[in-house]
């Protein structure tokens, strides 16, 4: 029989709908039931592509004896962390405070008032059953101690914290961050620190922006070395495109095989920027391959992008992706099979489990045509395997990241089809997820979810809309971004410069989350800073400019102590230090001269530059113009012109691409 998750829209919750555990979704009804029964709440948080979540589900949640203990002693609540990042953030902070580490699945025991009193992550079945019995006994026999522990945890989580409010980072913080990153940099293998290694997506953006502004070769070296190591390693799908979540080793050889939309959207934009700065053909190839993979494997029928592909298939992690020499020979024949094994580093011993190897590409083969034939043959053979499951919910924030990446890639690499994919995804967000300046976090099969958007949803969606406007000149996208950012200022700030991850009218939790640090994606606060700054460049709004600067306050304490957790904030700081610039490009639509000026603006401008394309007929008064940066920017002699501005104060216009590039290049 199905439990209370059967009507959920989350694929992760639906994975547990047939468990013998009497799961309930997060909500007041579950806590009311815990108070009625006088039992604790057992909160389990995970996500659909999580390998260890599957392991714990198979070991414990599908086991009838374990489920009976859970049902007898607890009210059991299942949460998709991707659907409710606010719930996840609050209780993950408690897990980290109690255990010194975090991860998923997250397991937390709560009082009926929501206070956590014992937390952990994955528990093997025998350990988990002993824990269930121990917690039930302590709840019955030592209730006062349990309640006191819960109160102390809640008080600790609610304690005031300093987030750098009132401080504005500058060149000193950027330089200190580079020094800190250089100390952690793995010069031989790329990346920062040891195993496991995660893609430093936000740091790529900062390091490239810093190199552009200062000429610091160390910054470029750290970015380019890491980018090449990842592109050639097993973390990159060498035959299908796209990147896995992280590498379990320091060499980028063996990935954790789940493939997430947000990683690939961020890395697509990072490799595109690396190509822009250096002309590196590998970076260009990886950018296009990642974009094509996103469209091929994550595009939904509604035009949005699915959240992830699972790490597992046929009950084993990575089975879909790994090969043996014998398999290569069977598929390709003796000659091509042996050649492919050498090219991809497939050995008899294997680099993964059971003698299998993850495909790598240590260097480009000397026969590109043969390589492409082999790649296509292997890809077709792999398609006959049982594929990983797809988490097909559409998350607003991650789709915003995808819109920005695909729009810019399409514009710079002459792929109008990618711009169209970005436009279609943006349309889904605007028409289905948005209403009256508010945004819902998720949808699935064209049905919007019940979860309210958090700060990253507003900020990343606005970022995507602004990038799409800069590519297309379609003013509906800048207007939609403005509505979202007005909501950010009205609902996610407190008037003192602080930013919160949830709106002021969102569901009250034991603590209102307020995490400024980057993790797998830019923090909501730093993402908001970037979008607010770009929007202020298009509109001249001092309100949005001041809010952007205020949002960057945490960069000051993080830059020297923990720069790996402030990459996006540091990148936006570089935008401030570079001007920030605004570029209005006006000209007859569709002409080659206008297209060349526009592409030069997109190609040569520093990160975060506000680029506004128009046709030159905007009114002279900014108050009357839908995009004030375009106001009073006429054509020159009936032809296209580009205006490079700082704070709406513009240089004389230029009408050829070479002159514009000179204005934008340090």
344-370 pLDDT, tens per residue?
999 999 999 999 999 999 999 999 999
The first and second tokens of residue 236, run together, are 């990159």
293, 339 contact by CB (below 8 A): no
Q: Give the dihedral sign, CA 610/616/619/625.
A: negative
Q: Report pLDDT for 229.
A: 98
Rg (CA), the chain: 26
Cα distance between residue 218 and residue 214, in whole Å = 11
Q: Does 527 or 155 have the greater pLDDT score?
A: 527
Confidence of residue 268 (pLDDT cuts 50, 70, 90): very high
Cα distance between residue 96 and residue 89, in whole Å = 10
The first and second tokens of residue 527, run together, are 């993402």
- Chain position carrying tokens 């402030």: 566
Q: What is the mean pLDDT of residues 9-29?
A: 94
Residues 38-96 pLDDT 10s? 999 999 999 988 888 999 999 999 999 999 999 999 999 999 999 999 999 999 999 99
Cα 466 versus chain centre, distance: 17
Distances (CA, A) of 627 to 42, 254, 435: 51, 48, 22
- What residue ranges define each of the domains in the chain, with the CATH number in brackets? 11-158 (3.40.30.10), 171-311+391-577 (1.50.10.10), 321-384 (no CATH), 582-664 (3.40.30)
Confidence of residue 159 (pLDDT cuts 50, 70, 90): confident
Q: Report pLDDT for 50.
A: 87
Residues 104-122 pLDDT 10s? 999 999 999 999 999 999 9
580, 538 contact by CB (below 8 A): no
- Global pTM reads 0.95
Q: What is the mean pLDDT of residues 135-155?
A: 91
Inform me whether the pLDDT recorded for 589 exceeds 60.
Answer: yes
Inform me whether the pLDDT recorded for 1 exceeds 60.
Answer: no
Q: Report pLDDT for 175.
A: 98
Calculate the average pLDDT of the chain: 95
Q: Report pLDDT for 9.
A: 86
Inform me whether the pLDDT recorded for 563 exceeds 70.
Answer: yes
Inform me whether the pLDDT recorded for 619 exceeds 80.
Answer: yes
- E strands, 231-332, are 246-247, 255-256, 259-260, 308-309, 312-313, 316-317
Kindly report which listed range (294-298, 449-453, 492-496) carries the lowest average pLDDT score: 492-496
The first and second tokens of residue 184, run together, are 């952690």
Residues 237-251 pLDDT 10s? 999 999 999 999 999
Alpha-carbon torsion, ordered 393, 398, 399, 405, to 10 deg: -150
Inform me whether the pLDDT recorded for 465 exceeds 90.
Answer: yes
Confidence of residue 433 (pLDDT cuts 50, 70, 90): very high
654, 663 contact by CB (below 8 A): yes
Q: Report pLDDT for 2.
A: 67
Inform me whether the pLDDT recorded for 420 exceeds 80.
Answer: yes
Angle between helices 657-664 and 592-604 (to 10 degrees): 10
Residues 168-212 pLDDT 10s? 999 999 999 999 999 999 999 999 999 999 999 999 999 999 999
Q: What is the mean pLDDT of residues 389-396?
A: 96
Inform me whether the pLDDT recorded for 471 exceeds 90.
Answer: yes
Inform me whether the pLDDT recorded for 215 exceeds 80.
Answer: yes
| Other Cβ atoms within 10 Å of 250 Cβ, number | 16
Query: Residue 501, SS3?
Result: coil
Confidence of residue 391 (pLDDT cuts 50, 70, 90): very high
Inform me whether the pLDDT recorded for 588 exceeds 90.
Answer: yes
Confidence of residue 158 (pLDDT cuts 50, 70, 90): confident
Q: Report pLDDT for 280.
A: 97
């Amino acid at each position: 029989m199905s439990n209370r998750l059967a009507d959920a829209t989350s694929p992760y919750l639906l994975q547990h709908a047939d468990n013998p555990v009497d799961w309930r979704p997060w909500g007041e009804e579950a806590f009311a039931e815990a108070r009625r029964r006088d039992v604790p709440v057992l909160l389990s948080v995970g996500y659909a592509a999580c390998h260890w979540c599957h392991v714990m589900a198979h070991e414990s949640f599908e086991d009838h004896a374990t489920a009976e203990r859970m049902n007898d002693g607890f009210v059991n609540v299942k949460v998709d962390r991707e659907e409710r990042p606010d719930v996840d953030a609050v209780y993950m902070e408690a897990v980290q405070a109690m255990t010194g580490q975090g991860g998923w699945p997250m397991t937390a025991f709560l009082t009926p008032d929501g206070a956590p009193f014992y937390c952990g992550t994955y528990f093997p079945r025998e350990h988990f059953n002993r824990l269930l019995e121990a917690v039930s006994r302590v709840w019955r026999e030592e209730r006062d101690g349990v309640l006191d522990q819960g109160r102390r945890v809640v008080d600790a989580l609610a304690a005031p914290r300093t987030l750098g409010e009132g401080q504005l980072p500058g060149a000193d913080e950027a330089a200190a961050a580079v020094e800190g990153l250089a100390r952690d940099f793995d010069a031989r293998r790329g990346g920062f620190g040891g195993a496991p290694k995660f893609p430093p997506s936000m740091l790529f953006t900062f390091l490239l922006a810093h190199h552009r502004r200062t000429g610091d070769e160390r910054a470029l070296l750290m970015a380019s070395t890491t980018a090449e190591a990842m592109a050639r390693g097993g973390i990159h799908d060498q035959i299908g495109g796209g990147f896995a979540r992280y590498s379990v080793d320091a060499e980028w050889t063996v990935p954790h095989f789940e493939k997430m939309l947000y990683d690939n959207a961020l890395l697509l934009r990072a490799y595109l920027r690396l190509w822009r700065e250096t002309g590196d053909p590998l970076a260009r190839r990886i950018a296009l391959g990642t974009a094509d993979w996103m469209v091929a494997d994550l595009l939904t029928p509604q035009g949005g992008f699915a959240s992830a592909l699972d790490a597992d298939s046929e009950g084993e992690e990575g089975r879909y992706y790994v090969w043996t020499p014998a398999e290569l020979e069977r598929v390709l024949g003796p000659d091509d099979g042996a050649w492919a094994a050498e090219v991809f580093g497939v050995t008899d011993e294997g680099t993964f489990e059971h003698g299998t190897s993850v495909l790598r590409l240590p260097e480009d083969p000397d026969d590109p045509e043969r390589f492409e034939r082999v790649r296509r043959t292997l890809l077709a053979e792999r398609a006959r395997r049982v594929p990983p499951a797809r988490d097909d919910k559409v998350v607003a924030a991650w789709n915003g990241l995808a819109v920005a990446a695909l729009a810019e890639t399409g514009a710079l690499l002459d792929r109008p089809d990618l711009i169209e994919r970005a436009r279609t995804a943006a349309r889904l967000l605007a028409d289905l997820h948005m209403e009256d300046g508010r945004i819902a976090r998720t949808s699935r099969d064209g049905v919007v979810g019940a979860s309210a958007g958090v700060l990253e949803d507003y900020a990343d969606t606005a970022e995507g809309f602004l990038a799409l406007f800069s590519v297309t000149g379609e003013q509906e996208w800048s207007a939609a971004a403005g509505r979202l950012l007005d909501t950010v200022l009205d609902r996610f700030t407190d008037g003192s410069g602080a930013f919160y991850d949830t709106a002021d009218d969102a569901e009250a939790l034991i603590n209102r989350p307020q995490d400024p640090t980057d993790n797998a994606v830019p923090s909501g606060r730093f993402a908001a800073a970037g979008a607010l700054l770009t929007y202020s460049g298009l509109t001249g709004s001092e309100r949005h400019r001041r809010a952007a600067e205020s949002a960057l306050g945490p960069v000051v304490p993080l830059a020297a102590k923990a720069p790996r957790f402030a990459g996006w904030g540091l990148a936006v700081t570089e935008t401030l230090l570079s001007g920030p610039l605004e570029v209005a490009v006006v000209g007859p639509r569709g002409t080659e001269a206008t297209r060349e000026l526009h592409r030069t603006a997109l190609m040569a401008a520093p990160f975060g530059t506000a680029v506004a394309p128009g046709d030159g007929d905007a009114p002279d008064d900014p108050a009357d113009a839908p995009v004030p940066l375009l106001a009073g920017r006429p054509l020159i002699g009936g032809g296209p012109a580009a205006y490079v501005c700082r704070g709406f104060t513009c240089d004389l216009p230029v009408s050829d691409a070479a002159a514009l590039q000179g204005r934008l290049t340090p």
